[in-house]
Amino acid sequence: MIELQDATKRVGNVIHIKPTTLTLQTGHFNVLLGATGSGKTSLIKMMAGLDPIASGKVLMDGQDVTRLNTQKRQISLVHQFFVNYPHMTVFDNIASPLRVAGMAKSEIEGRVEEAADLLQLRPMLHRRPHELSGGQQQRTALARAIAKESRAVFLDEPLANLDYKLREELREQLPDLFAGRGAVVVYATSEPEEALLLGGYTALMEDGRVTQFGPTADIYRNPENIAAARVFSDPPINVARVTVSGAQARLAGGGGWQVADMTDGEYMVAVRPHRVTPIRTSDADVELTGRVIVTELSGSDSSAHFQHGEDAWVSLAAGVHPYQVGEDHRFFMNPAHCRYFGQDGKRVA
């Protein structure tokens, strides 16, 4: 378990991490999701002891480690760039932290081989990093983190520099690799899809703050504020202006439906692109007509960007749908999937 208690980070007079309180548990992935510069790496460095904390505390398993050296925290860190010792073989790379810890030779061998098997590195154990592909180099770095007995493993966008398909494969294996190792796993990413695939818990980050934390699928479905909804969406979530008056919601660009338990006023409504479809999916669907600006056909999905009043919308639907750019099309949206936010960005319904 890692706890941050009102921890902040400052460089000069610039606050990089605002007071953050967060408890990360073992047994599942803890994902830090946010755009570049939102503070994911800073937060990891604070927990790893690589960056000093301006105020507040960091605790590991209840022990205050705020002033403890990185070397003494028993942690592993895998970086976005493939960091290996270039002059050592894969075996020695994986074994190096174990040797530093003074482990017996026979035990080192066992552990290295176990980690190498998990990451399919067995045939490459005697090669040097420059003879390996990018994927194999990153797997070596991951194997080093797995072989080492750590209380916490920090993975800072470890897949960002790999090929798409390779990313997909490794992403699927990762949760299993760390399962049952008793370490807190923290995974930073800027891709919402990656957070969903890894599951576990997710902390949404924006501008040096954690905006929401909870089980990944929960916060995907129930964002507490408009910023969280935007951060956790790929493709970007549709946000439109809506006026509620007398239990009736009306979009600025036309189209209305019944709402319950909402006071009259101006709101923002957010709905994910795949909930806006070119075919009617339920009787409750609201019809939106809009001029198609761009279409994208990915084989499995069709998407259309359309203009509805002054708001730009995106529809994403499975299958092949013929859209004509520049023409009006009808789209359908089930209000059950709408989330409402006040002018201050806070969720209201």
Partner 1 sequence: MRTENQKAWFFVLPVLGLVAFNALVPMMTVVNYSVQETFGNNQFFWEGLGWFEQILRSDRFQAALGRQFLFTLLILLIEVPLGIIVALSMPRKGFWVPVCLVLMALPMLIPWNVVGSMWNIFTLPKIGLLGYFLNDVLGINYDMTQQPLSAWITVVIMDVWHWTSLVVLLCYAGLVSIPDAYYQAAKIDGASPWSVFRYIQLPKMKTVLTIAVLLRFMDSFNIYTEPFVLTGGGPGNSTTLLSIDLVKIALGQFDLGPAAAMSLIYFAITLLVSWVFYTLMTKDDAQ
Partner 2 sequence: MAQIKLSNLKHSYMPTPKGPDDYALKEIDVTWRDGGAYALLGPSGCGKSTLLNIISGLLTPSEGQILFDDRDVTALPPDQRNIAQVFQFPVIYDTMTVGENLAFPLKNRGVDAATIKRRVDEIAEMLDVTELLKTRASGLSPDNKQKISMGRGLVRDDVNAVMFDEPLTVIDPHLKWKLRSKLKELHQRVKATMIYVTHDQTEALTFADEVVVMQDGEVVQIGTPVELFERPQHTFVGHFIGSPGMNVLPCEARGDRAVFEGHEVTLEGPTHGDGGRTDLGIRPEYVGFSDTGIPARVTKVSDIGRHYVVSAMVGNTALKAVTEHSVPEPGSQVFLQFKPEQSRVYRDGWIASEERTQ
Per CB under 8 A, residues contacting partner 1 are 11-12, 16, 37, 39, 41-42, 45, 50-52
Q: Are 152 and 47 in contact (CB under 8 A)?
A: yes
CA distance 185 to 289: 46
Question: Closest CB to partner 2 among 134 and 182?
Answer: 134
219 vs 210: CA distance, rounded Å:
13
Q: Which parts of 244-273 interact with partner 2 (CB under 8 A)?
A: 272
The least CB distance from residue 20 to partner 1, in Å, is 15
| Tokens coding 133 | 């592909």
Nearer to partner 1, 50 or 59 (CB): 50
Residue of the chain from 68, 118, 293, 349 that contacts partner 2 (CB under 8 A): 293
Q: Cis peptide before 335, with omega less than 30 degrees from 0?
A: no
Query: Using the rule CB under 8 A, is 348 a contact of partner 2?
Result: no
The amino acid occupying position 214 is G
Contacts of 107 (CB under 8 A, 6+ apart): 98
Q: Which of the ranges 15-23, 50-58, 76-84, 164-172 carries the binding residues for partner 2, by CB under 8 A?
A: 164-172
- Selection from partner 2, partner 1, none that 50 binds (CB < 5 to 8 A by kind) is partner 1
Question: What is the smallest separation between the CB atom of 280 and partner 1, expressed in angstroms?
Answer: 48
Least distance in Å: CB of 51 to partner 1? 5
| C-alpha dihedral sign at 112, 199, 272, 317 | positive
Question: Taking the complex as a whole, how short is the minimal distance between the CB of residue 120 and partner 2, in angstroms?
Answer: 16
Report the nearest approach of partner 2 to the CB of residue 304 (Å). 10
- Please, which residue, 45 or 272, has the CB nearer to partner 2? 272
**Residue 230 in the binding site for partner 2 (CB under 8 A):** yes
Helix H, strand E, coil C: the string for 235-268 is CCCEEEEEEEECCEEEECCCCEEECCCCCCEEEE
- With beta carbons less than 8 A apart as the criterion, state whether 267 and 335 touch: no
Q: Binding-site residue total for partner 2 (CB under 8 A)?
A: 41
Which residue reads 């493709």 in tokens? 235
Q: Are 46 and 9 in contact (CB under 8 A)?
A: yes
User: Least CB distance from residue 116 to partner 1, whole Å?
Assistant: 33
CB 237 within 8 A of CB 273: yes
Taking the least distance from each CB to partner 1, the nearer of 39 and 223 is 39
Does residue 274 touch partner 2 according to CB under 8 A? yes
Instruction: List Cβ neighbours of 182 (8 Å cut-off, separation of 6 or more).
Output: 26, 151
CA distance 77 to 3: 18
Which residues, 182 to 201, sit near partner 2 by CB under 8 A?
Answer: 190-193, 196-197, 199
Q: State yes or no: residue 229 binds partner 2 (CB under 8 A).
A: no
Rank residues 33 and 333 by Cβ distance to partner 1 and give the closer one: 33
Q: How many CB atoms lie within 10 A of CB 174?
A: 20
Binding site for partner 2 (CB under 8 A): 35-36, 133-134, 163-166, 168, 190-193, 196-197, 199, 216-217, 220-221, 230-231, 233-236, 272, 274, 293-300, 303, 305, 318, 320, 325
